[in-house]
Amino acid sequence: MKAKDIMTANVVTVTPETDITAIAKLMLEHHISGVPVVDPQNRLLGIVGEGDLIHRPELGIKDRRRSWWLSLLARDQEQVEHYVKTHGLRAAEVMNTSVVTVSEDTPLGKIALLLEERQSKRAVVVRGDQLVGIVSRGDLLRGLVDYRERLKTASAPDDRSIGEQLLKTLKDELAVDYVNVTVTDGIVELRGFIRSEQERKALHIAAETMPGVRGVVDHLDKVPYGWLGN
């Protein structure tokens, strides 16, 4: 699945001049945690999130005092920019310009990794410099549900394909190449040795999540001491 399959296309946006009170009201009204800031041509300029609106003096939030040596090293310009960010009254003054952006064809797995790496709640979907949608963590969860539901109605692959794909998964993702797999009418039989019960669990999950698998029969034994690096 890709961004275009799950993104919210009807995005709530604001202009650079939108007042922060209006922005907060929009978030509450639409149950969202952030709004993109766009220009009249719908080009993305930045985003205002909840975090940009709650670290403010109106809520009694005060900046932590910097140690004297950090204050000496800090540039005056940085202090000015921080003041504008925490005291500004318009979107342009408080928005974050470092936005996670993706294209409509970006795979969901890559989006999930980007959100994790950037510690962001959302990715903005752009076509060139035009805003076309937004993907939130909630959208990713809905994508997961949709995928699992589609698996239930999809045509099951044949036993040979299931076996080949499972062996590839075991080798590529779990570094396991000492387990034999046979598949009959969608029932997977696992034979060989495991190094731990956690590895047994991983092998079961790998088989159970394979499209077309109806069950798993476990013939696995604990590896004798001294084998396979133990």
pLDDT tens by residue, 138-174 = 888 888 887 777 766 667 788 999 999 999 999 988 8
**CATH number belonging to the domain at 3-147, selected among 3.30.300.30, 3.10.450.50, 3.90.870.10, 3.10.580.10:** 3.10.580.10
CATH number of this structure's domain 159-229: 3.30.1340.30
How far is it, in rounded angstroms, from Cα 94 to Cα 88?
Answer: 6
Mean pLDDT across the stretch 54-61?
Answer: 71
Better-predicted residue by pLDDT, 57 or 221: 221
C-alpha dihedral (67, 71, 73, 78), degrees to nearest 10: 130
Domain ranges of the chain: 3-147, 159-229
How far is it, in rounded angstroms, from Cα 163 to Cα 183?
Answer: 6
Q: Is residue 38's pLDDT more than 90? A: yes
103-134 residues labelled b (16+ CB within 10 A) or e (exposed): eeebebeebbebbeeeebbbbbbbeeeebbbb
Query: Residues 130, 117, 94, CA angle at the centre, nearest 5°?
Result: 55
Model confidence, pTM: 0.64
pLDDT at res. 75:
57
Better-predicted residue by pLDDT, 66 or 221: 221
Mean pLDDT across the stretch 193-206?
Answer: 91
The model's pLDDT over 90-107, given as tens digits with 9 standing for 90+, comes to 999 999 998 999 999 999
Paired tokens of 40: 């009249």
Q: Give me the phi and psi of 118, to 5 degrees please.
A: -90, 0
- 3 contacts 102 by C-beta, under 8 angstroms: yes
